[in-house]
């Protein structure tokens, strides 16, 4: 069962309003890396579409020929796929079997038709003002204490003059005639918003018939793709009245708008790199899980009833309500993201975690001369390190000793509560003897613990003071002050390597 919305017919705005399943779009520009704010917008659109039984459309707005790069588009597609935010349709199937996105660069003839319509109906006009003229106009208006806007100099040029300028190939743009009135629209999150259009002036909507700018191309595509809801960041609020005027000039229906709160740093300033903001790819490179990133992003500006925080993508879909998105800025907290990721490392099935881990090792991890690079060895290490890491990039910081052929540490680290050298050496010698007596096939943490605890209970020197025996053993195996327990380490290293390391510690003492 899904929620339906009463909206205008997207084919003909004159038809009375009726119920339609929503259609939403994610429309990034491939002019920079896909950042965390883009990912949050995509997620909210996806959740809304899935919750309402609607459609989620992906459109690449690549009309900026100079700044649009394929590498950025690839980052967008890969990022959405990594997060599991699959879109529902596209112009064609691509090599991997998925729909390709709509690309504005492939739709220029469509925009030209609508631009020509506005010119023919005298709702838009060619502007031939040079940059120098525009700057002079701006300075004049500002000097009079007025908000900067286009003066309208070319608005009423004669047809003869326009044709002559076009024949002379004089540089030009296309502007739309903005009415000198105010406009209101209802935002699902913010309520009614009003703009005074007289403060905006006649905006540029294209550089030429085949070079539409963002506001114009977006309006045409939203109409032709029958987009019912436009869910985007609040930084686009100022674009909304401009787009509504273009819709009205072409007699197109008005979609429903919802502007998401900005993502802020802990100091409530605009999110930046100093707060931990990075491209989505960078979070993947650091070893974050897509489930954790989705869960974290969903709660940046929205929260369901109750105190529960850990929610799968399916649970987020079931509980999502666009009207419950907050107006105020959402605080980005990197420590919270780390917490979410640590929870999912423990929560997800071990096979899935190891699959993610293998991908991380293959594509993003620092190259290592592994002591034993086989998958079983790596999996055993990961299992005992999961409780000690927040993300995969922490793995080698805590477990590096598993991969070194030799480990170095100061002799003093072997000492348990300022024990003497003779006490340390005796403890290591006893540990070596116990390890040596255990068969290779029985060399596991359960059996190791049983043998060591039995020895401790039978030996007065260690009774009530296990650390006297186990601390030197753990340091000998790991070379670290903090590490997993000695039995877990010994099981992973195996009998041969464990004996080798204990023997080296004895020699060090």
- Segment 351-361, tens digit of pLDDT: 999 999 999 98
Please give the Cα distance from 222 to 257 (Å, whole number). 12
| 187 within 8 A of 257, measured Cβ to Cβ | yes
469-488 average pLDDT score = 96
Please give the Cα distance from 264 to 283 (Å, whole number). 18
C-alpha 238: how far from chain center: 24
Please give the Cα distance from 470 to 462 (Å, whole number). 10
The pTM of this model reads: 0.89
90-119 average pLDDT score = 87
- Segment 15-46, tens digit of pLDDT: 544 567 899 999 999 999 999 999 999 999 99
Instruction: Give the CA count within 13 Å in the CB-facing half-sphere of 437.
Output: 12
What does the mean pLDDT of the chain come to?
91
Residue 12 has pLDDT above 50, yes or no: yes
| Coil, helix or strand at residue 197 | helix
- Segment 382-440, tens digit of pLDDT: 999 999 999 999 998 889 899 888 899 999 999 998 889 999 999 999 999 999 999 99
| Coil, helix or strand at residue 269 | coil
| Coil, helix or strand at residue 25 | strand
Please give the Cα distance from 396 to 402 (Å, whole number). 9
Question: By 3-state DSSP, what share of the chain in percent is helix, strand and coil, each rounded to 5?
Answer: 50, 15, 40
Q: Give the model's pLDDT for residue 365.
A: 84
Q: Give the model's pLDDT for residue 14.
A: 57
Please give the Cα distance from 369 to 375 (Å, whole number). 14
Active site residues: 273
Q: In terms of C-beta density within 10 A (0-12 exposed, 13-18 middle, 19 or more buried), how is residue 6 classed? A: exposed
Instruction: Calculate what percentage of the chain has a pLDDT beyond 70.
Output: 93
Domains of the chain plus CATH, in order, are 108-260 (3.40.50.620), 274-393 (1.10.1160.10), 411-508 (1.10.10.350)
Provide the pairing of β-strand 263-264 with 330-331: parallel
Please give the Cα distance from 470 to 5 (Å, whole number). 66
Residue 371's pLDDT band (cuts 50, 70, 90): low
Nearest CA-CA partner of 323 in 52, 87, 54, 58: 52
């Amino acid at each position: 069962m899904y929620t339906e919305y009463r909206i205008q017919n997207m084919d003909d705005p004159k038809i009375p309003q009726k119920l339609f399943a929503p259609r939403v779009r994610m429309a990034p520009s491939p002019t920079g890396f896909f950042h965390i704010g883009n990912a949050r917008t995509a997620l909210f659109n996806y959740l809304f579409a899935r919750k309402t039984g609607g459609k989620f459309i992906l459109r690449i707005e690549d009309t900026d020929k100079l700044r649009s790069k394929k590498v950025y588009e690839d980052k967008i597609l890969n990022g959405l796929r990594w997060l599991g935010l699959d879109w529902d349709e596209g112009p064609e199937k691509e090599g991997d079997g998925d729909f390709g996105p709509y690309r504005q660069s492939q739709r220029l003839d469509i925009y030209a038709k609508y631009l020509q319509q506005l010119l023919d109906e005298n709702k838009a006009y060619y502007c031939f003002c040079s940059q120098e003229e525009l700057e002079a106009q701006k300075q004049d208006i500002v000097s009079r204490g007025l908000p900067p806007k286009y003066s309208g100099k070319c608005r009423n040029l004669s047809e003869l003059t326009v044709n002559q300028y076009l024949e002379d190939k004089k540089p030009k743009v296309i502007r739309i005639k903005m009415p000198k009135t105010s406009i209101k629209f209802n935002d699902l999150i913010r309520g009614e918003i009003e703009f005074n259009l007289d403060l905006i002036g006649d905006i540029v909507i294209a550089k030429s018939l085949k070079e539409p700018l963002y506001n114009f191309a977006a309006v045409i595509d939203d109409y032709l793709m029958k987009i019912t809801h436009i869910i985007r960041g609040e930084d686009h609020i100022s674009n909304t009245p401009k787009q509504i005027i273009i819709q009205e000039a072409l007699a197109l229906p008005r979609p429903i708008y919802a502007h998401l709160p900005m993502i802020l740093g802990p100091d409530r300033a605009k999110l930046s790199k100093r707060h931990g903001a990075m491209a989505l790819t960078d979070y993947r490179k650091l070893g974050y899980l897509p489930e954790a990133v989705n869960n974290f992003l969903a709660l940046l500006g929205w929260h369901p009833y109750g105190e529960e925080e850990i929610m799968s993508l399916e649970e987020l879909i079931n509980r999502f309500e666009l009207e419950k998105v907050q107006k105020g800025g959402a605080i980005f907290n990197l420590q919270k993201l780390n917490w979410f990721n640590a929870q999912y490392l423990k929560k997800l099935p071990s096979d899935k975690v190891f699959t993610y881990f293998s991908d991380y090792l293959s594509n993003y991890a620092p190259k290592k001369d592994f002591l034993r690079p086989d998958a079983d060895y790596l999996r055993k290490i990961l299992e005992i390190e999961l409780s000690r890491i927040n993300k995969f990039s922490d793995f080698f910081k805590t477990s590096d000793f598993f991969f070194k052929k030799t480990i170095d540490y100061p002799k003093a680290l072997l000492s348990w509560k300022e024990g003497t050298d003779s006490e340390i050496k005796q403890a290591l010698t006893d540990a070596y003897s116990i390890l040596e007596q255990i068969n290779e096939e029985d060399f596991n943490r359960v059996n190791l613990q049983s043998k060591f605890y039995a020895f401790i209970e039978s030996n007065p020197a260690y009774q009530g003071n296990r650390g006297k025996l186990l601390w030197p053993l753990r340091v000998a195996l790991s070379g670290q002050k903090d590490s997993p327990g000695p039995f877990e380490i010994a099981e992973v290293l195996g009998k041969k390597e464990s004996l080798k390391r204990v023997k080296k510690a004895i020699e060090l003492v």
